[in-house]
Chains A and B, each alone.
Chain A
């Protein structure tokens, strides 16, 4: 039996998208009243929820406080029902820790932490359903949640994944495409400046192709930005209508 054809001769991917197209994105801000900021995002079938508390005083040991900036604490978890195979994952397993660290690195680069020295910002992200591109969905959800909390940032952080099949870069990989085992790259971008907050790559990719894949991921991240921007504006409009009345 022939394996799955990830990209047809006509240029369509397994789910019908073209190489550079994103999956359908839907997002909502302010989904929890109790938190300082929150957001929910769906990128295709990948669904993530982000909640932000802070900035507030350091919890626990005071020694962790940073004299010149805020401490960003990120925690990642995934729901047991989030993947096809139902599996109990202990809290704080290796994968979750790693993801937490990556998110922390990403948001330390984006949040203006020096405005809140000796304080702490908590970002909790939970993936409810995983269908590829979990890191990107987490970043995008967290961005909206941080904005919802009113924490000043340099810029949005927009993330997207990209892969490489048949000499073509594919944006926003689905689970099927990720599982095929090709090279994949995750990029978090500050779109206005074009600065990269985080770049991570799995598997080997020849340097000749890196630029092409990076370019595809960056373009996709900018597309994500345009969408998130609309979500934020919509949210602000709704909020101001509520306040105005």
Chain B
């Protein structure tokens, strides 16, 4: 309360608007040093260590704390995050400036501050009676803040001196600003630049590599040659955008051509949505994903998107003349009518740099410390870094961050962040694909784990409140073999009135994950469990996913049950939802369940239950398909792993049994029933899932392809599509139907989560259901947890909380979930691709039968059913005479010399691993049959020997 504290009041006044703000100064803010008598018990949270001696610094041998200024925090966050750096005082002034200037760094510094082992202390200096400074006349805000930081540093040194006279603690001011450092030393504050300090840490030489390399402003002019034009200041850009001179947009670099990019202009104007940028100087140091301002060039300088593939492989930075020559190549390939709006980048509105995965291209000059780094993402320019460990980093996947891009530098400057491991190594590659797809995969933090139930765990009386005891029911689960996160179980029994009772029991994850705590926040952030080929990145900690929530047999588990009363014709008479306790009687695999159903000898409760379920599922499925639900297919592949080496030894396409679709049918039914219930109860904030109907143009390729085989595919409704797909059979070509379904899958839109209050169209096209949601996999999908919470409120089993009934929060959550699901899918594909490579690496070269999925202008895309593998066979290769290619868009077909290729044609291809580019290994396919002289490869030719030297040559020329 007021009286116990001394308050001084300062008022800030100024501007046209009268702004009078109170600013209270306090004397109860602790310095953060333990055992400080002056501050007493005023500390909270993690504090500094009493006598920090390591890391040993040759510049300041005394125990000390660090006090960095704003720019050090912003640019050297990689150094500060290093475990070696501890005991840092973060001033409120600094933190606020960081908050205004970079959200990602602000988040990182907060994470560091919350990590108790780092001993970072945030000192609220702006409200401390002795460290507050007022802006002086003629002093700008930056200078005031610099002064405030120095005042706080000085205060700290004097304050700590009082604590113990001899061998007292020091506070070292870290700044990279020359003037600021000079002023600090004048005022008696020990001050160093970040570089000086890091270099003085003799025991931690590796830290030097993590230093951001920042060119001081003066340097640019000294070193003479300017390559790029200046970026205009933000104020000028904003003026220009307002007046229409400049356009604001997102910069998207081309994957194929490092000298080309597209800017997607923000806003709704129809004209000039996409602006092409060509040439190094016009790209003007913009990096993929940056928000930039562009100026349109006059029409006579407009260009067309070039079809040339150009990768930046030069080692020498001074090859600017060559660069210009290349740019001319771009221009000569222009065809008049293809001209598109073209512009140049005049300034950067917001950088969107992130740490990049990639590899070091070691400099040819021996002893050189400067090296180029090539990011795995081809849209990111190469980055110049300084490191002394180049030889150890060679051939390794590393992470590098960009620090800046001066006008006189061909490449941006950056610094080394982390060594991931050897290229091609499974662990390393997995790490890379997780990082590149932004999949959160760090081990769960202590804060998250602290919210797990204590073991041994058992169901208590309190847990049974608002819960039905269904442990007597004969429930069982059916899953793929080796499944440890079982989130659903089923039962079916005949009631006295002759009807059937069917129950779907889903793991009650929301019982363990309470809204808003760290565990909940982390699960929400992850959004989904990511399944890679031999790794699972859990959304929730293992104790829950594989134990307490997993509905294993013969243990008591908490569930959320959806129970229907049905007649024998699978018509729902009643539905109810309840939290429950169950005890599964059997955890079966699909095969085991199938065997029980088929075997006439077995008549136990579990088997009877399964037969009942199976019978109903068939009726449900038939009815669903009658309504127009689609059965599409995608070639799903599973790897058989060698148990010792964990290398894939064989691939196998997934087998589908009746029992698969039995489980699926009841999951769909449960999801639909729950969707109806939560939407009834919460019309504005139900979390639902929709699948929009694709625009008719999406189907063009499917219709054309079918037509070429004299089949008709109708696409006006989902029902007619499903029917015509069913009819599209060819007695001589049984695989055709599957191919058509694969093609149909490619025409579909992405299904998405949404909040019912923010949308009108709820329809799920693929399932032909007017409403749908996800309820049945809460262990691996966060959406299901929210749906469980909504349903629990609807049936009075749990209470609501504010975020649950906030449709904007829910919409934001959906956005993240949709993003995470998409990324998880991409990561999964990348993982399959990597394992496919491993597989063919050990397998050598093989020839397989394949079907053409698409024909392109200079290539065919084929599917190899045996491996479920898709690949592209190119017909144009550099350094080879170009074959005669005639592409017909209408049929579609591609004529090569005298052979015509249509969609669905059967071919034979040779598959091998192409390791010519270490960073981007890929599966290469070439045509074997039909034979085209000069194009196809003889079946037995040892083509590796022929091709290898050729490829090497190519590489050099590029």
Number of interface residues of B (CB under 8 A): 35
Q: Does A24 contact B (CB under 8 A)?
A: yes
* Residues in A whose Cβ lies below 8 Å from that of B9: 24
Q: Is A22 an interface residue (CB 8 A)?
A: yes
Q: Smallest CB-CB separation from A131: which chain B residue?
A: B20
Q: With A and B bound together, what is the CA distance between A5 and B805 in angstroms?
A: 24
| CB-CB nearest in chain B for A129 | B20
Contact of B801 among A10, A176, A206, A227 (CB under 8 A): A206
Also in contact, A45 and B20, with CB within 8 A (given A21-B2, A22-B1, A208-B799):
yes
Q: Mark B108-129 against chain A: 1 for CB-CB distance below 8 A, else 0.
A: 0010010000000010101100
The answer on a CB contact under 8 Å between B1 and A21 is yes
A25 and B103 CA atoms in complex are apart in Å by 37
Pair B7/A24 contact, Cβ less than 8 Å: yes
Asked if B126 contacts A206 (CB within 8 A), the reply is no
Q: Contact check: which of B44, B96, B127, B516 meets A16 at CB < 8 Å?
A: B127
Question: Which parts of B885-941 form the interface with A (CB within 8 Å)?
Answer: none
A-chain residues with CB within 8 Å of residue B110 when the two chains form the complex: 9
| A202 part of interface (Cβ distance < 8 Å) | no
A137 to B116, CA, bound (A): 43
Least CB separation from B17: chain A residue: A84
CB distance B127 to A2 under 8 Å?
A: no
Residue B92 at the chain A interface, CB threshold 8 Å: yes
- A83 to B388, alpha carbons, bound, how many Å? 62
Which residues, 792 to 833 on B, are CB-close (under 8 Å) to A? 799-802, 805
Asked if B22 and A2 sit within 8 Å, CB to CB, the answer is no
Binding stretch for chain A, among B23-31, B330-338, B403-411: B23-31
**Chain A residues numbered 1-28 whose CB sits less than 8 Å from any CB in chain B:** 1-2, 5, 8-12, 14-17, 21-25
B-side contacts of A21, CB under 8 Å: 1-2
**Interface positions of A from 204 to 220, Cβ below 8 Å from B:** 205-206, 208-209
Contact yes or no, A24 B2, CB < 8 A: yes
Chain A residue numbers with a CB within 8 Å of B20 are: 45, 84, 129, 131
Flag whether B21 is at the interface (Cβ < 8 A). Answer: yes
Contact among B1, B11, B100 with A2 in the assembled complex (CB-CB below 8 Å): B100
Chain B nearest CB, measured from A27 CB (Å): 12
Contact status B799-A15, CB under 8 Å: no
> Is A117 positioned at the interface, with any CB of B under 8 Å from its CB?
no
Main secondary structure, interface of A, reads: loop
Number of A-B contacts (CB under 8 A): 79
Q: Does B106 contact A (CB under 8 A)?
A: yes
Bound-complex Cα distance A22 to B25 (A): 14
* Chain A positions within 8 Å of B17 at CB level: 84-85
- List of B residues within 8 angstroms of A44 by Cβ: 22
CB distance from A154 to the nearest CB of B (A): 25
Q: How far is the CA of A22 from the CA of B24 in the complex (A)?
A: 11
Q: Give the CA-CA distance A223 to B2 in the complex, in Å.
A: 9
Q: Which residues of B contact A8 (CB under 8 A)?
A: 92, 122, 124
Q: Separation in Å of the B952 CB from the closest CB of chain A?
A: 52
Question: In the complex, what residue of chain B is closest to A85 when comparing beta carbons?
Answer: B17
A240 within 8 A of B: no
Query: B19 near A: Cβ within 8 Å?
Result: yes
The reply to whether B2 and A22 contact each other, CB–CB distance below 8 Å, is yes
Q: Is A209 in contact with B802, judged by CB distance below 8 angstroms? A: yes
- Whether the Cβ atoms of B21 and A176 lie closer than 8 Å is yes
Q: Does B467 contact A (CB under 8 A)?
A: no
Residues on A with C-beta less than 8 A from B801 are: 206, 208
Q: Mark A26-50, 1 if CB is under 8 A from B, else 0.
A: 0000000000000000001100000
**What CA separation (Å) do A129 and B13 show in the bound complex?**
15
Measured CA separation A21–B127 after assembly (Å): 14
Instruction: Please determine whether B22 and A12 come into contact, CB atoms closer than 8 angstroms.
Output: no
Smallest distance from the beta carbon of B90 to chain A beta carbons, Å? 10
B99 within 8 A of A: yes
Nearest CB to that of B128 among chain A residues? A16
Residues of B within 8 A of A15 (CB): 21-24
Cα distance, A205 to B25, chains bound together (Å) = 31
Q: Tell yes or no: A61 within 8 A of B by CB.
A: no
Interface centre among A8, A129, A226 (most CB of B within 10 A): A8
Q: List 25 A-B contacts (CB under 8 A).
A: A8-B122, A9-B110, A9-B122, A10-B44, A10-B92, A10-B124, A12-B127, A16-B124, A17-B24, A23-B22, A24-B2, A24-B9, A24-B24, A45-B21, A45-B22, A84-B18, A84-B20, A131-B20, A131-B22, A167-B516, A174-B21, A205-B802, A206-B801, A206-B805, A208-B802
Of all A-B residue pairs in the complex, the 10 with the closest CB atoms, nearest first, are A206-B802, A16-B127, A16-B24, A15-B22, A84-B18, A2-B99, A44-B22, A84-B17, A10-B124, A12-B124
